[in-house]
Amino acid sequence: MSTKEDAPRYGGRALRNGVMMVGSHAVAVAVRQPDGRITTAVEPFSMPGRWAKDIPFLRGLVAIGGMLKLAGGTTKLENRMSTGSKVKNFLPQLAPGVGAALAERLTREMAKKADDRMVVPIETVAGVALPFLAFGVGGKLPGVRDLWRYHGAEHKAVNAAEAGLDLTPANAGTMSRVHPRCGTVMAFWGLLGGALARSLIARMRDNRGKTIAGAVAGPLILSTAYEAVRLGYAVRDNPVGKAVFTPVWNTQRMTTLEPGEEELEVAVAALQAVIDYDRAHAA
C-alpha cells in the first residue's frame, strides 16, 4: 500500500452521464450509456505550465489556464462518446452556474440597499452563502442530481486511489465524498475574495483607483484561492489545519451527493484507465 507521501495525485470532474479523470500522463472519460454499458476513452495529456509549479501565486494562474485547456479537451471527448442531445447533456452542468450568477446579482442588490457600514459584512456573507445555496437547490433537479452523484463518485474513487487501496467500487464506496483539492473549495475562496474585493472597491472614491484595483483584483483573487487550496491540502492531517479547513471542505456537500454503485463503477473505470495509461508510459 502506498503511503500518503508517495501516492500519486489525481483530479477529475463530474459529467452529465459519467466522469473525467486526469493523471500525470493522461485524461480519461467514462460514460454510462443508455443500455447500461460503460464506455471509456483515454488520451495522452500533460498539464501545461509545470515550470511555474514552485512559484507561489503565479502557479495558480498558470494552473487555471491548464484547467481550461483540459476542460475543452474533455468536452470534445465526452461529446464523441455521449448519445442524445449535446444541449440536453450540457444543461445540467450549466444550471448550478446560472443559479450562482443569479445569487451574485441578488447580493449586489442587497449591498446597494444596505447601510455603508454594513456593506462589507452583508455582501461578503451573502456573496459566499447564496451561490452555495443555489448549488444545493440545484442538486434537487433531476439532471443536476445525477451530476452531483457522479461528483461524489469521482471524489470517492480518487480518495481510494490516493489512499493506496485497490481501486474497486466497493473500496471507493467506503471513502469520503469530500476531497481537499476539489474545485468547490477553490470556488469558496474565490467567492469570498470576490465579495470582499467588490465591497472594498465600491467604497473607494477615486475612479482611477477603482479601475486599477478592479483590474488587479481578479488575478489576485484567483491566485490566492489556489494557494488557499494548496495550503489546506498540505495541512489536511494537522489537527489545527483540520479545524480551520474542514468547514470549507464541507462546502462540497452542497455540490456532491452520495453515489450509488452505478456511479462508482463509472468513476472507477475512468480512473483505472488513467492509472493504466500512466503506468504504461511512466518515465
Q: Which of 30, 33, 12, 32 is nearest to 21 (CA)?
A: 12
Mean pLDDT of the chain: 84
List pLDDT tens digits, range 231-252: 999 999 999 999 999 999 999 9
- Angle subtended by helix axes 207-234 and 239-249, to nearest 10: 120
CA distance 254 to 7: 28
In this predicted model, what pLDDT tens digit does every residue of 201-217 receive, in sequence order?
Answer: 877 888 888 889 989 99
The residues, ordered by sequence, that sit 6+ positions from 240 with a Cβ below 8 Å of its Cβ are none
Residues 77-110: tens digit of each pLDDT: 777 776 655 555 555 555 555 555 665 666 566 5
Q: Who has greater pLDDT, 102 or 11? A: 11
- Domain parsing of the chain, residue ranges: 11-281
